Amino acid sequence: MIDQSEMFTSAWLLIGITGSTPGNLELAQGRISFTTSDRQIFEVPVSSVTDVNFPWYYFGGGVKFRIGSESYRISFVEPGEHGNIRDGRRAGKAWKAILAG
């Protein structure tokens, strides 16, 4: 059983076609946040996350969503040849249970 009240995962914020920024996606006390090594990208109530989509072409290892007018694409698999697909898909499944019900 997944603890849906708290979650912490290494993730990559996808930027443009080939860019990405490593960070952490976290759920705590009903709030979701993405933080890089030098700044917080967002921190909002989970209820603020809309248009949640786990596209088939992410193979279960990524999610797209909106917060207000901003769109975000998150990968749970490190981009490039060193990404651990199995762990990324496991993280994607856990976040899907939280974000997509």
Domains in the chain, please, with CATH? 7-99 (2.30.29.30)
Q: CA-CA distance, 79 to 42, in Å (whole number)?
A: 21
53 closest CA partner among 10, 9, 4, 92: 92
Instruction: Give the tens place of pLDDT for each residue, 55-98.
Output: 999 999 999 999 999 999 999 999 887 879 999 999 999 999 99
- Residue 1: per-residue pLDDT: 36
Quote the pLDDT of residue 18: 87
